[in-house]
Chains A and B, each alone.
Chain A
Amino acid sequence: MTDLLNAVIGGTPVGCVFALLAVGLVLTYRTAGVFNLAFGAQAFVSAAVYYDTRVRHEWPIWAALVVSVFVVAPLLGYLLDRALFRHLRTARSIAKLVTTLGLLVAIPEITKLWFGGGASFGVKGIWPTTDEIGGPTIYRWGDYAVDGNQVATVLVTLAAVAALTAMFRWSQLGLRMRATVESPRMTELAGINADRISTFAWMLSSLFAGLAGVLLAPLFSQVNNENFLFLLIAAMAAAAFGSLRSIPMTLVGGIALGIGYQLLYTWLPAGSILSQGLRPALPFGALFLLLLFWPGLRDRREAADPLAGVDPPPPAPAATLRTRGMTISTRVLGVGVFVLISAGVAWFFDDFWVLLFVTGIVYAVIFCSITVITGMAGLLSLSQAAFAGIGAFTTAQLVDRFGMQVLLAIVLGAVLAAVVGGLFALPVLRLEGLYLALATLAFAAMFQFVVVPQDWAGGRNLEIPRPIIGSIDFSSTRAYYFLCLAFLGLASVAVLLIKRGTVGRYLDALRGSEVAAVSVGIDPRRARVTAFGLSAGIAGLGGGLLAVLDGRLNLLNYNFIQGLVWVVLVVTLGPRAIQAAITAGIMFKLFPELISRVDISALPDTLNPAQNPQALAFALFGLGALTYAKHPEGIIEFQTAKSLEFVNRHILRRPDPEAEAGDTGAETVEVAS
């Protein structure tokens, strides 16, 4: 009984933080139609500002609180709405998701660049400190104890949620917000500026994120980026419990999760594998199960932006028309340039650059998996890192335990990843869009927290030799480079063939219109499970190649946050184009290295590329994703189309191909693939 009560006392404040974030999430999801994956990152900003003002600049608590929660947080919300989400109202839900994903990657990196220092900082509560060591006051009675920060967290949460509920129910503004949710068009006709309402909703939700960021003290002693993603996922689970709709239920869900979290701590034997694995995985598991089974989410129609009805839908993108000759010549040119560069690297560069380049090539193989799942199937999967990890772990285990041929082990690893991907897809593909993205994120995180720490899976110190096939020894980096190039060639040819073949065209049809594809007899589940398995297999292949390249298992490579950066980068450059995946792979490794050579000593250390290349690169990758909504075909495809148009118009001096085809039908044109 004491245990249970202690868990309730300890868990409630934790749950309150979850709930605060969750309420903010629901707020923007309902009033603006954006499920904000970057919400945890917004909390991170406020936490960083609070820490910076309170600890580094020694401001009084109230001043730091006011600035971080009541100034910075709403300002951020205002900026996000004005600069980004206002323009995305009529965008497809995947475009909104990608945008928030980009922010999720970029905001923490920018925050780190801004405030400098390491990736994590200590947390100070908002309760005045009274004892000598600077901790908050602790109140005890009997066997139970709470500290001031925990009390503050609970009180602030209850007050904030109560105020929000009251505002919705009784205030003029709340009425307007509810009206906007129901029908923005009617609201505007009634003379209310719906734009302003949505801006207000963004600022308000951002305020909740800020509160959560500052009230973290009971939860973590040190805060870094990953903690906020963890928090966000817990908040998503709470929001799912409230069916992404009900604020009281969201509060209950958050608190229940907090208590459950605490209970696992009490009940599981300390230090056991279970407690190490299960406890961090609880929110992910909860989210995963809720998404699959919670009746409240049965009605799976996503909240489109209710304001979407006010604006006319954006015009359909004019399909790019290009002649067969042009398509072939661009392909030949692309392959030619790639072959020249790769050969040049092998012959003229030293080992350092070759290593970098081969790592990029291996990442390009992994990124081909994103082309399949996101580009071809149109599904945003955030679990590619886990599938790459499965490939890598299998390869390592097979080589280490059974002394298997390395190349065979890599292939078997890919096969296993494909099987796991296919099995995972079976239940999960009932979900669509947002819910699918969340479920895959939860899966990737569970993989990292539950499977990776197990000895049988990871084995951190396994050594993996490079393969020797017959008389060819691939142990040198240069030789292995050619092997990886061969694999990349195989993977991209396979992807191209599938794209042109039945599976690819079925997926195209399903993306274009699922109901219509079903009406001609295409089985959507079968097509998507195939795509998912295939994509997981390619990721697994890349993962295995990467492990062999490193010569050991480097767990950081398969970290699920890295996986988010991968998706962001590939989708920005071009989700459907294989050349974009390859460019992304090489950029992923090469870009940080290149900018690290740019030493601008005029800049403060934290902003100087030479000092902070990785963070700067990731911040730029994340910001790049903000272009996705405008160019869903990707930057590379967009530029290709633009330069082809230029060639057409100014060099070949051809008239507009569409006009010509329309009138005479003389020229054969084909829709760009």
Chain B
Amino acid sequence: MSPTTLLEAEGVTKRFAGITALSRASLRVDEGEIVGLIGPNGAGKTTLFDCIYGYLRPDGGQVRFCGEDLIGRRRHERARLGIGRTFQRIELFTGMSVRDHLLVAERARQGTGGLWRDLRGKGGPTSEEVARVDEVLDLLGLLDLAERPIEALSLGRARLVELGRALMIDPRLLLLDEPSSGLDGDETIAMGGVLTRVCADRQVAVLLVEHDVELVRAVTSRLYVLDFGTLIAEGATDTVLGDEAVRKAYLGST
């Protein structure tokens, strides 16, 4: 049985004032797989990511998730459809504890909160919610830090909190925007380990936009390579990374 296609981008084109940042780029992510998207700086990775996530409206092409058209949908609806994400420049809720980060996401997933519930004094976290959150914290090895304020965490751990927050919405697909940026070598390796473990455990597919070739090699099964706004290679990770054109465009001297 062939796996179902989750995310499908077809012929996505984006122009900025005459410059074509992205030209007919297509990619596909199937259920349960980890797919990489790499390319040198300015290749259009972020543009493609933004077109998928809805920060940019593509000038041409289609983006579908589970067969549903994504273009023009409001951004928060993507979470309801089952798309979670993390950010390149880390985005946290200042002033909240680690557990609160995940609790907010958990409540948002249920979508059951409201003014009336708050006024009846039932707006606080329920014990089931705390249990679900702690399960994820445990998976990420953050349970000991659950009560800490987010500002007290190192960048590597804060990235894990971001990942945990994204996991709380029960995503079928995670879009990870350069999860290794700002991390040192050891932390990157640890991040790779956690990613593989989490995806297997929760059966989540991942689209990984990344700079770090080692991380990509370690976790992804398939790879897309962008250069100057066009896809120059796609296929199994090892094959693509061995490809001459890719080495030239992206890896340069290495």
Query: Which residues of A are in contact with B by a Cβ distance under 8 Å?
Result: 316-319, 321, 494, 497-498, 500-506, 508-509, 511-513, 515-524, 530, 534, 658, 661-662, 665, 668-671
Contact = CB atoms under 8 A, between A and B. Distances in A.
A669 B119 contact: no
A534 to B, nearest CB: 7
A319 B95 contact: yes
A654 to B, nearest CB: 17
Interface residues of B, number: 47
B121 interface: yes
B152 A319 contact: yes
Interface string B154-194: 00000000100110110000000000000000000000000
Contact of A519 (B84, B113, B122, B144): B84
Nearest to B102: A520
B147 A521 contact: no
B76 A523 contact: yes
Contacts of A497: 118-119, 121, 123
A501 B95 contact: no
A512 B94 contact: yes
A667 to B, nearest CB: 10
A212 B92 CA distance: 45
Given A494-B119, A521-B169, A661 B79 contact: no
B75 A520 contact: no
Contacts of B123: 497-498, 500-505
Nearest to B97: A671
Q: Which of A317, A502, A513, A671 has the most CB of B within 10 A?
A: A502
12 contacts: A498-B115, A498-B119, A501-B117, A502-B114, A503-B115, A504-B118, A516-B92, A518-B76, A519-B91, A521-B80, A521-B105, A671-B147
B107 A515 contact: no
Nearest to A320: B149
A503 B120 CA distance: 13
Contacts of A506: 104, 107-108, 113
Contacts of A321: 149
Contacts of B166: 519-520
Given A501-B118, A658-B152, A671 B109 contact: no
B97 A520 contact: no
Interface string B140-154: 000010011101100
A516 B93 contact: yes
Contacts of B251: none
Contact of B104 (A316, A520, A662): A520
A658 B147 CA distance: 11
B76 A530 contact: no
A521 B168 CA distance: 11
Given A500-B118, A509-B93, 13 more contacts: A319-B151, A321-B149, A497-B118, A501-B118, A501-B123, A506-B104, A506-B108, A516-B87, A520-B79, A521-B78, A521-B111, A662-B148, A670-B147
Contact of A516 (B111, B112, B122, B165): B165
Given A508-B95, A508-B96, A668 B147 contact: yes
Q: Which of A319, A321, A511, A669 has the most CB of B within 10 A?
A: A319
Contacts of A520: 79, 84, 104-105, 108-109, 165-166, 168-169
A508 B93 contact: yes
B160 to A, nearest CB: 14
B102 to A, nearest CB: 9
Contacts of A318: 151
Closest 5 CB pairs of A and B: A501-B123, A502-B113, A501-B118, A521-B79, A512-B93
Contact of B96 (A502, A512, A522): A512
B33 interface: no
Interface in B50-87: 74-80, 84-85, 87
Contacts of A500: 118, 123-124
Nearest to B151: A316
A167 B114 CA distance: 56
B227 interface: no
A517 B123 CA distance: 18
A417 B79 CA distance: 33
B206 to A, nearest CB: 15
Given A319-B149, A516-B165, A521-B76, A503 B113 contact: yes
